[in-house]
Amino acid sequence: MDFYILTLFPEMVMNGLSASITGRAMEKGAISVGAIDIRDYSHDKHHHVDDGPYGGGAGLVMQPGPVVEAYEALSERLGKRPRLIYMTPQGRVFDQKLAEELSMETELVFLCGHYEGIDERALELVCTDQVSIGDYVLTGGELPAMVMIDCIARLVPGVLHNEGSAEEESFQDNLLEYPQYTRPEVFRGMEVPPILLSGHHQKIHEWRRQQSIIRTLERRPDLLEKAQLTKKEQAFLEELREKSLPYQPDRPQGYLATDHADQQHGGGTDGIDAERGSEIPDGDGAQLQEPF
Ligand code: ADE
């Protein structure tokens, strides 16, 4: 999969993505990442790419020419007009489902805005998708593009060592991931759940699925509607719902089914806060109307 990023800060995206797993994937050739400097397409002798907004107002708007020409030069080089995703808080909110859809493409172009946004005509000409990474406003589209590329890249065959690990974790099945443990067996008096030391693979699998269900019920009950559960797991979930334990964000992970957590923090009995999963933090709504 080939990623292209149209940006005014090519070194920022290249530095970020050249590290860790995406960096190794680039070295192996499983993905490629190319940053294209929009400023290279400026016709201005000072290489300006922005100007004040028509109609007045604060800040600068990115001019359409350099953006459109950068995309057209890339399209010509590729012999096709690949999907172009404009990073903006006004877009569709990114999630695992969209990451899976985008991972099927062979090329993706990300357009990163800065200042007060990009001239609307450029977007009309080149943009196929507008995507937000969440309901908050950042200073530019580079970090959102890096978030999306990281997430999509790990779904590309050959990027992760363990191909199974992208499949097993949070959101793949609309269940959150179960708690993980490694050496030492006892840490500050807290033991690894004994089942994980039993070597009994079927039981470990069942325990992990149960932990995932518990976690999802506690932290993201909204996801459970779409989770695929066996009859036995559905019965387990019903039982949990009857017990109705409260959500306590500061308690240790794996709380419900690990003995040490019970010893240290005691069990709760009140209702699960069903509202929590769909909560959007209170913020200044007006912020989201910024032109980015
Ligand atoms: N640019 C600025 N904020 C953004 C956000 N939340 N998502 C995508 N692009 C952005």
- pLDDT tens by residue, 79-126: 999 999 999 999 999 999 999 999 999 999 999 998 899 999 999 999
Which of 87, 111, 112, 143 to mutate for ligand 1's pocket (most ligand atoms within 8 Å of CB)?
87
| Residue 133 near ligand 1, beta carbon < 6 Å | yes
Q: Residue 143 C-alpha to ligand 1 middle, in angstroms?
A: 8
Q: What is the C-alpha separation between 112 and 9, in angstroms, rounded?
A: 9
Q: In this predicted structure, what is the pLDDT of residue 161?
A: 81
- Which residues is 36 bridged to in the sheet? 6
* Residue whose C-alpha is closest to residue 112's, from 136, 144, 135: 144
Mean pLDDT of 140-167: 89
| Residue 21 near ligand 1, beta carbon < 6 Å | no
Q: What is the C-alpha separation between 126 and 67, in angstroms, rounded?
A: 9
Query: Are 113 and 88 contacting, i.e. CB atoms less than 8 angstroms apart?
Result: yes
Q: In this predicted structure, what is the pLDDT of residue 188?
A: 98
Q: Is 141 a residue whose pLDDT tops 70?
A: yes
Residue with CA at minimum distance from ligand 1 atom 7: 132
Mean pLDDT of 131-158: 97
User: Cβ contacts of residue 88 below 8 Å, gap of 6+?
Assistant: 113, 117, 130, 131, 132, 141, 292
Query: Are 155 and 103 contacting, i.e. CB atoms less than 8 angstroms apart?
Result: yes
Candidate from 42-51, 197-206, 250-259 with smallest mean pLDDT: 250-259
Confidence of residue 140 (pLDDT cuts 50, 70, 90): very high
Q: Residue 93 C-alpha to ligand 1 middle, in angstroms?
A: 10
| Residue 283 near ligand 1, beta carbon < 6 Å | no
- pLDDT tens by residue, 206-220: 999 999 999 999 999
Q: Is 249 a residue whose pLDDT tops 90?
A: no
Residue with CA at minimum distance from ligand 1 atom 5: 89
**Amino acid in the structure at residue 31:** I
Q: Is 283 a residue whose pLDDT tops 80?
A: no
Q: Is 259 a residue whose pLDDT tops 60?
A: no
Q: In this predicted structure, what is the pLDDT of residue 291?
A: 40
Which of 6, 137, 139, 142 to mutate for ligand 1's pocket (most ligand atoms within 8 Å of CB)?
137
Q: In this predicted structure, what is the pLDDT of residue 167?
A: 59
What percent of the chain clears pLDDT 90, i.e. is strictly above it?
77
Confidence of residue 229 (pLDDT cuts 50, 70, 90): very high
Q: What is the C-alpha separation between 60 and 83, in angstroms, rounded?
A: 26
Mean pLDDT of 253-265: 47
Mean pLDDT across the chain: 87
Q: What is the C-alpha separation between 214 and 255, in angstroms, rounded?
A: 9
Q: Residue 272 C-alpha to ligand 1 middle, in angstroms?
A: 32
Mean pLDDT of 20-37: 98
| Residue 89 near ligand 1, beta carbon < 6 Å | yes
